[in-house]
Structure 1
Amino acid sequence: MTNNVEDASTVTVLPAPRHMGVGSGSVVMPLTGRILESTSVGDDACVLAGQLTDDIERATGVRWDIGWGDNRGAHWSGFITLGRDDSMALGSYSLTIAEDGVVVVGGGFEGTRNGVQTLRQIIRQCAPALPSLTIEDTPDYAVRGYYLDVTRGRVPTLDWLKRWADELCLYKYNQLQLYVEHTFRFDGLSGTWRGMDALEPRDIIEFDRYCAERGIELVPSVSTFGHLYTALRSLDLRDLGEFPEDADRPFSFIERMAHHTLNIADERALKLSYTLIDSYLELFRTKKFNICADETFDLGKGRSHRYAERVGVAAMYADYVSALCRHLSEQGHEPMMWGDIALEMPEILGRLPKDVVMLNWEYSPNVTDGKVRQVSEAGIRQYVCPAVWGWSNLAPRTRDAWSNISRMARYGLRYGAEGILVTDWGDFGHVNDPRLVVPGMMYGAAMSWNAVAYGDEDDTDRAIDVVQYDGGAWTAALHRVDEDSSFRWYDLVQYVELDDGEGRLNRGVAELLYIGNAEQSAWVRSSTSLEEARTRLMTVLRDRVAAGHHANDDLRDLLRHLPRAVSEESRTMIMQPLLVAIHGQMLLNTVGWIFAVRAGAVEGSELGLESGSELSARLGDLALETAQALERWAETYAQTWREISRESELRRILELVWRCSDELRK
Structure 2
Amino acid sequence: MEEKTVRDSSPFEFHLVHLDLKGAAPKVSYLAEIFRLFHVLGANGILLEYEDMFPYSEELKPLQANDAYSPSEIKEILNLAKLHGLEVIPLVQTFGHMEFVLKHKEFCHLREVAMFPNTVNPHREESLRLVSKMIEQVIALHGDLQWFHIGCDEVYYLGEGEESKQWLQQEENTIEKLCLAHMKAVANYVVSAHPTVKPVVWDDMLRGISEETLTASGIAQLAELMIWDYTPDFAVSSKATLIQKYQRCSFPKLWFASAFKGATGVNQSLTLIGHHLRNHQQWMKVAESSPPGIIRGIALTGWQRYDHFSVLCELLPVGIPSLAVCLQTLKNGGYSEKVKEDVEKFLGISSLEIDTFMSDISGTFPGSEILSLVTQIAFYLKPSVDELLENNRYVTGWFSPYHRKRMKIHPIMIHHFQPDALRLLTKWTAVNEDLQTAMEKVFYMSATEEWMEENVQPSLQRLQGTVDDLDRAIQALS
Alignment TM class, shorter chain as reference: 0.7 to 0.9
Candidates 375, 391, 394, aligned match of 2:243: 375
- 2:184 is matched with 322
Distance 1:315 1:346 in 2: 11
Deviation readout 1:604-642 (Å, 9 max, x if unpaired)? 7xx3769985695699899x9889987765544332222
Distance 1:260 1:423 in 2: 21
* Corresponding position: 1:360 with 2:227: yes
* Sequence identity percentage: 16
Contact 1:367 1:408 in 2 (8 A): no
SS in 1 for 2:328: helix
Candidates 276, 285, 289, aligned match of 1:410: 285
Candidates 269, 273, 283, aligned match of 2:141: 283
RMSD: 3.6
Aligned-pair CA distance for 1:590: 2.7
Candidates 647, 650, 654, aligned match of 2:445: 647
More helix by share: 2
Deviation readout 1:314-350 (Å, 9 max, x if unpaired)? 2211110011111122221201011122124456643
Alignment of 1:213-362 (within 5 A): 213-245=83-115, 260-284=118-142, 285-307=144-166, 309-310=168-169, 311-330=173-192, 331-332=194-195, 333-346=197-210, 349-350=214-215, 351=217, 352-362=219-229
Q: 1:307 to 1:166 in 2, by over 3 A?
A: farther
Distance 1:166 1:365 in 2: 28
Alignment of 1:216-615 (within 5 A): 216-245=86-115, 260-284=118-142, 285-307=144-166, 309-310=168-169, 311-330=173-192, 331-332=194-195, 333-346=197-210, 349-350=214-215, 351=217, 352-369=219-236, 370-379=238-247, 380=251, 381-390=253-262, 392-416=267-291, 417-427=295-305, 428-451=310-333, 454-456=334-336, 459-469=338-348, 472-473=350-351, 475-476=352-353, 480-481=356-357, 555=359, 558=360, 570=364, 572-574=366-368, 576-587=369-380, 589-590=382-383, 607=391
Contact 1:176 1:219 in 2 (8 A): yes
Q: Normalising to structure 2: TM-score of the pair? A: 0.77
Contact 2:25 2:444 in 1 (8 A): yes
- 2:409 is matched with none
Distance 1:619 1:232 in 2: 50
Amino acid across the alignment from 1:468:
L
- 2:53 is matched with 183
Contact 2:280 2:326 in 1 (8 A): yes
Q: 1:308 to 1:455 in 2, by over 3 A?
A: farther
Distance 2:432 2:176 in 1: 45
Amino acid across the alignment from 1:382:
L
Q: 1:410 to 1:660 in 2, by over 3 A?
A: same
Distance 1:360 1:395 in 2: 26
Contact 2:112 2:121 in 1 (8 A): yes
Contact 1:394 1:431 in 2 (8 A): yes
- 2:17 is matched with 146
Distance 2:191 2:371 in 1: 45
Amino acid across the alignment from 2:299:
L
Amino acid across the alignment from 1:150:
L
Contact 1:263 1:303 in 2 (8 A): no
Aligned-pair CA distance for 1:372: 4.8
Q: 1:190 to 1:660 in 2, by over 3 A?
A: farther
Aligned-pair CA distance for 1:662: 6.2
Greater relative contact order, per chain length (Cα 8 Å cut-off, separation 6+): 2
Distance 2:285 2:403 in 1: 50
Q: 1:194 to 1:611 in 2, by over 3 A?
A: closer
Deviation readout 1:238-274 (Å, 9 max, x if unpaired)? 222234446xxxxxxxxxxxx5211222321111111
Contact 1:394 1:584 in 2 (8 A): no
Deviation readout 1:129-177 (Å, 9 max, x if unpaired)? xxxxxxxx564321221111112x2121112222222112213322111
Distance 1:615 1:365 in 2: 47
Q: 1:205 to 1:346 in 2, by over 3 A?
A: farther
Q: Normalising to structure 1: TM-score of the pair? A: 0.57
- Could you list the runs of 5+ residues in structure 1 that have no partner in the other structure? 1-42, 49-108, 116-136, 247-258, 483-554, 599-603
Q: 1:313 to 1:639 in 2, by over 3 A?
A: farther
Distance 1:406 1:591 in 2: 37
Residues matched between the structures, number: 425
Q: 1:659 to 1:411 in 2, by over 3 A?
A: same
Amino acid across the alignment from 1:326:
N
